[in-house]
A and B are shown apart, each in its own frame.
Chain A
Amino acid sequence: MKKRSRRSSIFLYSMLILWAFICLFPFYWMITTSFKMPLAVNRGPVYIPFIGPIDDKTPPVVNGIYFKPTIDHWKFLLVDEQAKTVRYFRNSLIAAGVSCFFAVLIGSMAGYGLSRFRYYWARLGWRNDNIAFWIISQRFLPPAAVVIPFLLFFNTLRLIDTHTGLILAYTVFNLPFAVWIMRDFFDSLPIDLEESARVDGATRWQTFLRIVIPLSTPGLVTVALFSFIFAWNEYLFALMLTNFEAITMPVYLAGMKSTKGIEWWYMSALTLIMVTPVMLIGLFLQRYIVRGLAAGALKG
């Protein structure tokens, strides 16, 4: 590698730090806002959660760029409003978790099939690649184009405002990606182990469950991660298909507008509650995200 000049090093690092700042500042702002008193928010920006010793008997809320932190808002959401917060959080968890499970299961089965068997749909003249392409093309179908039939359909089946409804919808949306990634992954797995297991008398299904699945953990984790994040963040269908009971976090958050205008301190705290789990999962499984993106685009 050529040695960089001092000047370009300074440029390089200052750009990196600038962008890191742009990425991180909104998080800092949300965290601090969730500890600010309403007055401290409405008076204009204050940055640092600390208020120096001021001789006054009733210390002010803000002092220049400093403010006096409070945990009231967190207390409100986690203690006073606990039932609501927990319920919507749980709804999100159920919808995302269960749909993620089904997407992984059904997706890896189809992926395995497409990787190991030879299909031919005579009527359409489709072979494996055509089928796979058809499946992935479903991923780019805008959900808004099918949301009305879902609404009517679910209404008839009494699935509006239920976990089952959301789970079903999210499984459908995550399936194409799951099939695509898993097929790709199985293609890269050597077939020898499966063949020897088959020689020892294992059925296809046993081979799949006992040999193939344990070997494909990285692929499964990638698919699970993407499916979970998608379902956790999804808004349009959750908005359309739920009313009161099965509302998920994004819908709850987006609907939280009171007559007093937006109460930024509650919003911030609630937002943090919503994004933290996904961010933690994402941080720990970072390399799978990169792998999933690469598989989706490089091979796509």
Chain B
Amino acid sequence: MPQFSAPQILTANDLLSGEVVYHTKTGAWSCRHKDAAIFDQPNPAADCLKEIIQNDASVVSPYLVRALPMHFREAFRAAGPSNRFIGKQAGHT
């Protein structure tokens, strides 16, 4: 497992819409990056990911990612494509 070097968030794609979703404090999924729960410690993050992989069929390809600074790939996932105003940035889902 890669070393836990910074606070992380848990993200995935929604099974039905394919939309990027973020795991929130309440355990629900939100399509807004700002709602993402931040894990400060490695063990709870890994446990949560394991639990979702095993038991949550509402999402696909869940993974943990560094919260900040946001990698540019994650910035596109959070906003939508940069080549046209579409997706989350345009309020579309």
- Specify whether A and B are partners: no
Chain A interface (Cβ < 8 Å from any Cβ of B): none
Chain B interface (Cβ < 8 Å from any Cβ of A): none
